[in-house]
Amino acid sequence: MHTFLLIAILLLGFIITFQIARATEFVSIVQGEERTRKQSNRINAFLLLAFLIVGLFGVYWAHHTLADKTLGFDSSASDHGIKVDRMLKYTLITTGIVFVLTQVLLFWYSFKYQERENQKAYYFPHNNKLEMIWTVVPAIVLTVLISFGLVYWFQITGAAPENAATVEVTGSQFKWEFRYPGKDGVLGKKNYKFIDESNDNSLGLIWDDAATHDDIVSGGPLHLVVNKPVRLVIGAKDVIHSVGLPHFRLKMDAVPGTPTTLWFTPIKTTKDMIKETGQENFVFELACDQMCGAGHTGMRGEIIVETQEEYDQWMASQKAQYQKAVVEKKCLQLRPQLLPKTLRPRNLLIVLPLPLNPIQLLQNNLIYL
């Protein structure tokens, strides 16, 4: 109802303005062009002054009422996000001061120097001093603002702290996949030529590389530890995607064949944000910020920020991708009775029903698929 009323008011205002303009045209025909022009200029001057007053009040009202809802200052959930919020504040303050000054001068001058009898506007075609002022001062201000942005950019894309965790984020139409290193803390090698969706190797991990044997692959949500730096290694399998982290004030493109990186430190857990926002179903969002196809709008991931103990419990419940894609499949082919009954297929081809322990054979590389 409120929206409908607002639209009706705007439409009514447009109709009134249009009718006034039409009436002015008729009056100009009856009274003469010159007299009508002077009256029109006087009316426009007063309307511009009124627009200035109403407009500045609207800017104040929008900032006072909507700033916390739209900009969300001081709600960032990462250390870098706090700096980004601060930089945005400085930018808005600077541009806000310039905006108010220029608009006041523009509309006040339009009112003050309206066309009058025996009044001639003063103008000058050139002034070196003024040109230097309005060129040098904005250049200095913009240089300072841009320097803040460059410093923060080099920080998030630079070398991560030594104690930072590493997580690989891979985008594809239209989903996100995450890979965590195992106990060795190293992500194994991969190659797009080894990608095999039907064989539990959607990321193309190279099984000959021992570092891949304890890597954990997950379709989400992404798990992070609060107050611990994390380095994201970002890539894509098909087209350009973009890792958008609005709650952390971060964004980085995911480019096929060209890994990109960024790092940050989460400073609020998911539980903290639930209390802060009052939303029981709150989750940190991982959005694709690059138009990547028909399903782009549904390419949404979730992030869980938790304590170290909670993260360790979750990791303990996960199984390495090598275990699922290689070891268990070979065990099925050799001795299915070694697996729990719930995991035994009804119709199974047993390749070698040997009395030997198949796990031992696998570890010694004696049997291959």
Q: Are residues 184 and 280 in the same domain?
A: yes
Q: Cα(82)–Cα(247) distance, rounded to whole angstroms?
A: 11
Q: Are residues 296 and 229 in the same domain?
A: yes
Asked if residues 367 and 352 have their Cβ atoms less than 8 Å apart, the reply is yes
Q: Are residues 205 and 256 in the same domain?
A: yes
Q: Cα(38)–Cα(299) distance, rounded to whole angstroms?
A: 59
Task: Give the number of other CB atoms < 10 A from CB of residue 214.
Answer: 18
Q: Cα(203)–Cα(16) distance, rounded to whole angstroms?
A: 63
Q: Are residues 296 and 327 in the same domain?
A: no
Asked if residues 277 and 234 have their Cβ atoms less than 8 Å apart, the reply is no
Q: Are residues 195 and 312 in the same domain?
A: yes
Q: Are residues 327 and 309 in the same domain?
A: no
Q: What's 280's DSSP letter? A: T
Q: Are residues 177 and 243 in the same domain?
A: yes
The CATH number assigned to the domain holding 243 equals 2.60.40.420
Q: Are residues 24 and 110 in the same domain?
A: no
Q: Does residue 256 have a cis bond before it (omega within 30 degrees)?
A: no
**Residue span of the structural domain in which 21 resides:** 1-29
Q: Cα(188)–Cα(194) distance, rounded to whole angstroms?
A: 13
Structural domain count, the chain: 4
Q: Are residues 25 and 37 in the same domain?
A: no
Q: Are residues 185 and 303 in the same domain?
A: yes
| DSSP one-letter string for 166-199 | EEEEEEETTEEEEEE--TT--PPPB-GGG-BGGG
Please give the backbone phi and psi of residue 222, each rounded to the nearest 5 degrees, phi first.
-80, 125
In a domain, 344, yes or no: yes
Instruction: Give the pTM.
Output: 0.72
SS3 58: helix
Instruction: List the pLDDT tens digit at each of the 369 positions of the chain.
Output: 667 777 888 888 878 887 777 776 666 655 555 566 667 778 888 888 888 898 888 888 888 887 776 666 778 899 999 988 888 888 888 888 998 999 899 888 888 888 777 777 777 788 888 889 889 998 998 898 888 889 888 888 888 998 999 999 999 999 999 999 988 889 999 998 999 887 788 999 999 999 999 999 998 799 999 999 999 999 999 999 999 999 999 999 999 999 999 999 999 999 999 998 888 899 999 999 999 999 998 899 999 999 999 999 999 999 999 988 887 776 655 555 544 555 445 444 444 443 444 444 444 443 333
Beta strands in 181-314 (DSSP E): 216-218, 222-225, 230-236, 241-245, 250-254, 260-264, 284-288, 300-306
In a domain, 330, yes or no: yes
Bridge partners for 253 per DSSP: 242
